[in-house]
Structure formats: structure tokens, C-alpha cells
Amino acid sequence: MKHSQYKRIEVEPLSGSIGAVIRGVDCGAHLTDDVIREIRFAWLQHLVIFFRDQQIRPDQQLAFARRLGNVVAYPMVKGLPDFPEVVPVIKYPSEQFNFGGLWHADTTYLEEPPIAGLLLAREVPPVGGDTLFANMYLAYDTLSEGMQSLVEGLTVVQSSAKPDAARSREKRVKANAKEEGRVLVAEHPAVKLHPETGRKALYVNFGHSVRFKEMTEQESQPILEYLFRHQVRPEFTCRFRWTEGAMALWDNRCTQHNPMNDYHGFTRVMHRISIG
């Protein structure tokens, strides 16, 4: 896509609401500051961007991540022995649940969740294992004025122990846990102002949001259930089909994602880095 901001990269939108594929970039090379600026601009414009055919080593993935921000640790699972910031996200043929296999934003149960995730496909099934992404700006913008005014005044309690999310990472945590049994809880505004774009984003998610601080769980439940359905309407989303060497960079402040669990009997190996 031709845009006055893009002189060094090509940007092809993936849907009308979110996502774009970036071409003409080798993320393993030493990229100029101008190229990094264009990548960041595309990322802020499209919320999630994808690179194909990135045959890069963990140290190169880390070096690219550090050009975009500060690399931060994932609290639940250990990383690679030589590169602890690079967390392997694996589903084996014998496993039924996939890691993080539900709609969520990453680790919103932390006081300071990462601003971005960088995910590289190392091994993918022959078909299946796509990831859906959803635009939380649109989720907020399309609420009625009454619902907007209600949720803007609320604080959402986020927990690492919500059952569906905890089950999705159970095997990986058992095999490679940092700490056993630790429950993390944080409170965040239900609507967040993005510090770089100035736009409002809905900040509740099915994976981690438990209740509103100002309400009981029973009072919170019908509102949260409505928001969980609303925020992932098809017109707010895109779907990315992974190939080996594909890499995604998403803005964790204004998106959610859902890795599809439709490839039983096959291995899927991804390398994830959190950026703060």
C-alpha cells in the first residue's frame, strides 16, 4: 500500500479493521532507524503487523524486539536456556489444549502489562493453528453512549487464575514453570487511553477479567459477558494463517488475540517475546 509515510517498506492491509502484512524487511538484518520508524508507524496504524519468511535465530529475534522497546520477562513460563526472554509456545500432538487458546490480551493481570508481543513461527501444522486478532478501539467506539459512559467509570480486576485461561497453559506451566501456584491480580481502567495514539480502547478481556472493582461479581457478570461478545465481532477482526518463519507484532494495549485450536495430532512451535 502506497502511503507518504512508507518509503522503505511495503504495507498490505489484511482486513478493513485490523492487521497488515509488511514486505521488504529482513528482521534479522541491522535495520536503519528510518525503517524502524516506518515499521512502528505501520504497527500503530494497523495494530498488528505480520512479516513472512523470517528465517532468523533467537538472538536475531531478540535484537529486533529491542529496536522496538524494552524486552520484559513472561511471568509464568521459563524461556529458552540461552535466551530466557524468548518463551517457547508449544503444542504437542498428544495435547488437547493450546497455550492461551481463548480471546485475551497478554498478562493484563500485571501492574504494567507489556505494550507488545512478538511471535515467530518455528514449526506449524499443515493446516490450522491460525490466530485471530481484534481491534479494541472499534470495540469501544461502537458501544452506545450509555454503555461508554458506564464502562469509562469502572475499574476491572484482572487475574491470572481465571479457569479457562489457567487451563490453556496448564501443561506448559507444569513442565516449565517459574513459580508454582502464584496468582497475579491487578486493577486497570475498563477503558484505557492509548499513550501514543490518544485513542480510547476497551480494556476488558475474557481470559483475565474477573469483575469490576465497583461491583460484585454477580453485578459485573452480565456486563462483562456482553462486552466479551461485543469486542470480538467479526467486523473488528482479522485472521492470520501462519507459515514457518512468519512473525507477528501486536499492540497489546488495543488488541486481543485468539489462537485457534484446530490442529490436534500435530506439533506447533512458536517463539514469543514480550516488549514493555
Of the listed 188, 208, 271, 272, which one is catalytic? 272
Of the listed 169, 188, 257, 268, which one is catalytic? 257
Of the listed 46, 106, 172, 268, which one is catalytic? 106
Q: Which three cell numbers stand for residue 258?
A: 485468539
* Catalytic residue list contains 104: yes
Of the listed 104, 169, 211, 271, which one is catalytic? 104
* Catalytic residue list contains 106: yes
Residue 57 CB-density burial (10 A; 0-12 exposed, 13-18 middle, 19+ buried): exposed
Backbone angles phi, psi at 162, to 5 degrees: -60, 130
* Catalytic residue list contains 257: yes
Q: Is the dihedral of CA 53, 59, 61, 64 positive or negative?
A: negative
Q: How far apart are CA 145 and CA 161, in angstroms?
A: 32
Which residue type occupies 14? L
Catalytic residue numbers, as ranges: 104, 106, 257, 272
